[in-house]
A and B are shown apart, each in its own frame.
Chain A
């Protein structure tokens, strides 16, 4: 279909980047958005009847794990990208904790080569390491990684503890005008923790990870951001305290942005001990709820939602973290952290819209314009001339999550069996369909 034109008819077009919302058509030609408006006709163009569907800019995920190279038993770039497309994503930023990690240009180029070969319809943007081997000691050659196409720097799950190293990294990143993407965790304080520090942890006899373990690092990073002038992006932020710290920093005009995950917005730590519809006493110890940062308290969720509403939170990122069955079919304490999130993200997040917590436009902003602003690459909008990255959504369609149908190799999700309302019907990347649901009407 590439290089031919595509016409989307009668969609409800929502483009948070321009604040536009209208019912109309979108014409795509040569991989770009040609025009939007009413009663567009284009002879010979493939036509999608999008009546009843939302047309949004393609989703952008600032935080995912594609596992290749090194952990192809968990996921490959091909399977991860296919899952991302199904989730409505046209751009995904993959974290560097592969094996070997993305700490030199050679390995970054390798990943980009695999991506262009195995996942041509998803824009895979690598995040480079901050330190060699993610060991927290020696800075990578950040300029070289930037030239190789890294869109930011992160040691993700092994955050840089040494404040001086982090300060130096920020000074370098500032010159490159790329963000430091930090998984904020004081690993001395969280050490050995299994879940949120709170009453559920006591109930289950598990070791808690206090909110302070995150907030201390958010505060440190904000101080360094002020010191160095670098762009700081706090990723998968999970607590009320962190939200307030970022809000304050933004008010002071610092270049701080942040994202939250669908699971941290919708599940509390109580989910660790009970599965819906089972008696309270049948303690679940559900390893699919083990994630870092952990599922937090209802008060944290409320604060995150307020953060989304007042613009403190810029983006929602999946932290898609596929793992093998064996890595989750074990004791909670021995289970590896992570949730396979691409394919459930939109359906899960729509629950916030259906319950009236946030508006659809705000949600779509967090999935498109918000992250695009951080990437500064011209994506995340439906303006004429932009990349034709479009996601078509049915906000009312109900479906039941069944991991057996996942395109991701990772079946690790606490949402398996959940009935969700909100489905990605089609994903268009650069004018080409990268995913479509059976219900898509195309002629």
Chain B
């Protein structure tokens, strides 16, 4: 039984005029590695419509009325979860949220068991965050419900990748030959990994910049295996940001110092913090992004984070629009 068939008042795509979504094939959103250029562009096109809705006084549309979207977070999160829940609510869906960091999961309930319970409750999509890489893939294989990955371990964060690229395009238009630098803890960053996949269609250059201890050993070989020729690795931030159009700074978790991956916060700041004096070596119109949450004063200085070059607020707003687009594509329209 298709879950959506069992519910009255299922909205159709007529409620939201927009591009043809017939070629959209994804039942789940697990990562951007299987997104074609056409599909990524489709998300952006729909997201643009959503940005308009977000500008309205009354932001609610009935597109997903009668649908239920569950968020299940096995790892603490405030912004991503709020962003997804708002996106669902603006589209008229009902939302339930399970804080799996506190629920029965903490008592030893298995991942599969928790998810099966959700499926039995007949939700239309599960937005899932998990500290283990690959957990959403287990969910997608085990359940009939659509899974949207809201971050799994160090592996992927596809909605973040999409909102990042959407924000880049919003600012720069065509991304061809543009240079974007991602700086920080590449090793543990699912945001960087999803951006690597997501940006591959746009003819741009992506530079990953980090101290060698925060670049995984296998990264160059992986880039080669998948012909991700748009990506380069650079350890020196000052060289990396020359001629960059956008610099994206990543959060540095304090644990990295305890585990010896960086020798001291001071040294990290000297080498890798995005601050005004660093930006003096970049193009005057360089823009700065950060996926949040920020450690102000560590990877980014407050004057940059809240300054005129910062796109951080736009990223947050665009995050809701992009997630609305994903929910529309996954839970709205056709019965899958």
Binding site for B on A (CB under 8 A): 197-208, 210, 281-285, 326, 329-334
Q: Kindly report which residue of chain A lies nearest to residue B225, judged by CB atoms.
A: A199
Residue of B nearest to A335 (CB): B132
Q: Which one of A208, A330, A332 contacts B218 once the chains associate, using CB atoms below 8 Å?
A: A208
Q: Report B-chain residues with C-beta under 8 Å of the C-beta of A199.
A: 218-219, 221-222, 224-225
For the complex, is B250 an interface residue (Cβ under 8 Å from A)?
no
What number of A-B contacts does a CB cutoff of 8 Å give? 82
What is the CA–CA distance of A285 and B193 in the complex, to the nearest angstrom? 17
Contact between B217 and A333, CB atoms less than 8 A apart: no
With a CB–CB cut-off of 8 A, which chain B residues contact A205? 133-134, 152-156, 190, 193
Given contacts A199-B219, A283-B134, A332-B133, 16 further A-B contacts (CB under 8 A): A199-B222, A200-B222, A202-B217, A202-B221, A281-B33, A282-B137, A283-B31, A284-B137, A330-B138, A331-B132, A331-B133, A331-B138, A332-B132, A333-B132, A333-B133, A333-B134
| Chain B contacts with A in 16-63, Cβ cutoff 8 A | 30-31, 33-34
Does B3 count as interface, using CB distance less than 8 angstroms?
Answer: no
Residues of B within 8 A of A204 (CB): 133-134, 155
A329 contact set on B, CB distance < 8 A? 110, 112
| B219: chain A residues within 8 A (beta carbon) | 199, 202
Question: Which of B31, B153, B216 is A333 in contact with, Cβ under 8 Å?
Answer: B153
Contacts of A332 in B (CB 8 A): 132-134
Tell whether, in the assembled complex, residue A285 and residue B218 are in contact, meaning their CB atoms are under 8 Å apart.
no
Residues of A within 8 A of B218 (CB): 197-203, 208
Are A330 and B111 in contact, with the CB atoms below 8 A? yes
A19 to B103, CA, bound (A): 64
B216, A285: Cβ atoms closer than 8 Å: no
Interface of A is mostly: loop
- Which among A198, A199, A202, A281 has the greatest number of chain B C-beta atoms within 10 A? A202
CA of A443 to CA of B156, assembled, Å: 62
* Alpha-carbon gap, A285 to B155, bound state (A): 11
Q: Is B290 an interface residue (CB 8 A)?
A: no
Q: Which of B112, B190, B217, B225 contacts A208 (CB 8 A)?
A: B217
Cβ contact within 8 Å between B133 and A285:
yes
Give the number of chain B interface residues (Cβ < 8 Å): 29
Q: Closest Cβ of chain A: how far from B280's Cβ, in Å? A: 33
Assembled-state Cα–Cα distance A189/B222 (Å): 22
List, in ascending order, chain B residues with CB within 8 A of A285's CB.
133-134, 137-138
Residues of chain B within 8 A (CB-CB) of A331 are 111, 130, 132-135, 138
How far apart are the CA atoms of A202 and B152 in the complex, in Å? Answer: 13
- What residues of chain A lie closer than 8 Å to B217, measured between beta carbons? 197-198, 202, 208, 210
Q: Which of B30, B112, B135, B222 sits near A202, CB closer than 8 Å?
A: B222
Residues A206 and B222 in contact, CB atoms below 8 Å apart: no
**Closest-CB distance, A220 to chain B (whole angstroms):** 22
B225 surroundings in chain A (CB, below 8 A): 199, 203
Top 3 closest pairs, chain A to chain B, by CB: A205-B155, A285-B134, A331-B132
Q: Which of B217, B218, B221 has the most CB of A within 10 A?
A: B218
Report the nearest B residue to A331, measured CB to CB.
B132
Q: List 29 A-B contacts (CB under 8 A).
A: A197-B216, A198-B221, A199-B224, A201-B216, A201-B218, A202-B216, A203-B218, A204-B133, A204-B134, A205-B152, A205-B156, A205-B193, A206-B133, A206-B153, A206-B155, A207-B154, A208-B216, A208-B218, A281-B33, A285-B134, A330-B112, A330-B138, A331-B111, A331-B132, A331-B134, A332-B132, A332-B133, A333-B132, A333-B134
Chain A residues within an 8 Å CB radius of B30: 283
Partner among A203, A283, A326 whose Cβ is within 8 Å of the Cβ of B222:
A203
Cβ of A294 to closest chain B Cβ, rounded Å: 13
What are the interface flags for B197-229 relative to A under an 8 Å C-beta threshold, 1 for contact and 0 otherwise? 000000000000000000011110110110000
Interface mask (B219-258 → A, CB under 8 Å = 1, otherwise 0): 1011011000000000000000000000000000000000
**Bound form: Cα–Cα A137–B35 in Å:** 53
CA distance A283 to B155 in the complex (A): 11
Output the nearest chain A residue to B224 by Cβ-Cβ distance. A199
Residues in A with CB closer than 8 Å to B110 are 326, 329-330
Q: Which of chain B's residues has its CB closest to A205's CB?
A: B155
Contacts of B135 in A (CB 8 A): 331
Residue of B nearest to A197 (CB): B217
Bound form: Cα–Cα A285–B291 in Å: 26
CA distance A203 to B133 in the complex (A): 10
Closest residue of chain A to B156 (Cβ to Cβ) is A205
Greatest chain B CB density within 10 A among A282, A285, A332 is at A285
A207: which B residues are within 8 A, CB to CB?
Answer: 154
User: Which interface residue of B132, B221, B222, B225 has the most chain A CB atoms within 10 A?
Assistant: B132
Q: Of all chain B residues, which has the CB nearest A203?
A: B222
Rounded to whole angstroms, the CA-CA distance of A207 and B133 in the bound complex is: 10
Query: Taking the nearest CB of chain B, how far is it from the CB of A279, in angstroms?
Result: 8
Give chain B residues whose Cβ lies under 8 Å from the Cβ of A200.
Answer: 218, 222
Taking CB atoms, residues of chain A closer than 8 Å to B154 are 205-207
Q: Bound state CA distance, A210 and B218, in angstroms?
A: 10
Binary contact track B127-162/A, C-beta < 8 Å → 1, others 0:
000101111011000000000000011111000000
Cα distance A201–B193 when bound, in Å?
12
CA–CA, A282 and B130, complex, Å? 18
A334 / chain B contacts, CB cutoff of 8 Å: 132
Q: Once the chains are docked, how many angstroms separate the CA of A326 from the CA of B138?
A: 14
User: Complex formed: what's the CA distance from A285 to B222 in Å?
Assistant: 17
CA of A198 to CA of B225, assembled, Å = 11
Q: In the complex, A283→B153 CA distance in Å?
A: 14
Q: List, in ascending order, chain A residues with CB within 8 A of B132's CB.
A: 331-334
* A283 & B137 in contact (Cβ 8 Å cutoff): yes
Q: In the assembled complex, which residues on chain A have CB atoms less than 8 Å from the CB atom of B31?
A: 283
Binary A-proximity of B250-271 (CB < 8 A = 1, otherwise 0): 0000000000000000000000
List A contacts of B112 (CB < 8 A).
329-330
The distance from the CB of B118 to the nearest CB of chain A, in whole angstroms, is: 17
Q: How far is the CB of A91 from chain B (nearest CB, A)?
A: 38
C-alpha gap A64/B279 in the complex (Å): 59
Q: Which residues of A contact B153 (CB under 8 A)?
A: 205-206, 333
Q: How far is the CA of A329 from the CA of B135 in the complex (A)?
A: 11
A215 vs B31: C-alpha distance when bound (angstroms): 35
A421 → B minimal CB distance (Å): 29
Bound Cα distance from A268 to B177, whole angstroms: 37
Per the bound structure, the CA–CA distance linking A282 and B225 in Å amounts to 17
State A334–B138 Cα separation when bound (angstroms): 13
> How far in angstroms is the closest Cβ of chain A from B39?
12
